[in-house]
């Protein structure tokens, strides 16, 4: 983990209440897809943890949804504004476990951390399938970006306004895969868990206090005892989780 000052390159609305922010600065602490950053918001005590969507040698891309005061303030950031950020938190996904036909399953704002993972898996020559789940057509984002990487993409909407009508589990039925990675809300996780027959990794979206393991505010029960989502997670293997 490193702490630094990052410059806002862009901050763009890409779906209702959903923004993509590009940040310029040191990315050396990012070692795996699925890690997150923790952003200091002026006037607020707690930092705001946001999953990394993509990164390279000098830029970090995050996608976040405005759900409260902190993210509302973040949405007002302009180009060349600067932010105090902790970078390289969490353990991230393990691309080495993917098998040859990995399936990536994202629900809503659980979609972003799967993007860099998809890029890495494609670069390794894997045959990647992606399922994206949203409530309605207007909320969809990053379908084309995943397709541009070379993945086979299926979108499910709960109201049937686009793609497969229903949930991500409905869109998964006809896909051949030998490992899965997923990020999204807990109800989606429980539906996936009752459906999948192979190993996989879950990335938990959990409200965090400190964001780096100093408190126990985001603990999760596992077969090996309680683990902290922010420090020991957010990614955990399917086999260790107690639902």
Question: How large is the C-alpha radius of gyration of the chain?
Answer: 17
Domains 2-89 and 95-205 share a fold: no
φ, ψ of residue 196 to 5 degrees: the values are -75, 150
Pick the CATH number of 95-205 from 3.40.50.80, 3.30.420.40, 3.40.50.2020, 3.40.50.720: 3.40.50.80
- The gap between the terminal CA atoms of the chain, to the nearest Å, is 29
Segments of the chain with pLDDT less than 70: 206-218
The pLDDT of residue 208 is 58
- Could you give the CA distance from residue 57 to residue 34 in angstroms, rounded to a whole number? 17
pLDDT tens, 227-243?
777 777 789 999 998 88
Supply the pLDDT for residue 188.
96
Q: Write down the CATH number for the domain with range 2-89.
A: 2.40.30.10
pLDDT of 184 reads 93
Whether residue 102 contacts residue 128, with contact meaning beta carbons closer than 8 Å, is answered with: yes
Cα dist from 101 to 32, 98, 127, 200, whole Å: 19, 7, 5, 12
Look at residue 193 in the predicted model and tell me its pLDDT. 96
HSE toward the beta carbon, residue 165, CA cutoff 13 A: 3
Domain map (residue ranges) of the chain: 2-89, 95-205
Rounded-to-integer distance, Cα 159 and Cα 147, Å: 23
3-state SS of 199-237 is CEEEEECCCCCCCCCCCCCCEEEECCEEEECCCCCCEEE
């Amino acid at each position: 983990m490193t702490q630094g000052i990052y410059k806002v390159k862009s901050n763009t609305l890409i779906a209702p209440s959903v923004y993509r922010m590009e940040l310029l600065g040191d990315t050396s602490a990012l070692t795996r897809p699925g890690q997150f950053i923790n952003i200091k918001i002026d006037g607020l005590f707690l930092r705001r943890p946001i999953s990394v969507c993509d990164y390279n040698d000098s830029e970090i891309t995050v996608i976040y949804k405005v759900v409260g005061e902190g993210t509302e303030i973040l949405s007002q950031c302009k180009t060349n504004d600067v932010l105090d950020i902790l970078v390289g938190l969490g353990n991230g996904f393990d691309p080495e476990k993917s098998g040859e036909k990995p399936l990536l399953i994202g629900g809503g704002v659980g979609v972003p951390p799967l993007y860099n993972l998809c890029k890495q898996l494609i670069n390794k020559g894997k045959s990647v399938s992606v399922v994206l789940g949203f409530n309605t057509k207007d909320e969809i984002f990053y379908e084309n970006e995943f397709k541009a990487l070379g993945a086979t993409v299926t979108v499910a909407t709960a109201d049937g306004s686009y793609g497969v009508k229903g949930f991500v589990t409905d869109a998964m039925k006809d896909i051949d895969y030998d490992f899965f990675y997923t990020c999204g809300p807990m109800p989606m996780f429980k539906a996936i868990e009752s459906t999948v027959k192979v190993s996989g990794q879950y990335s938990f979206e959990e409200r965090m206090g400190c964001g780096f393991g100093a408190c126990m505010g985001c603990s999760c029960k596992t077969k090996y005892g309680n683990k902290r989502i922010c420090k020991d997670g957010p990614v955990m293997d399917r086999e260790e989780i107690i639902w």
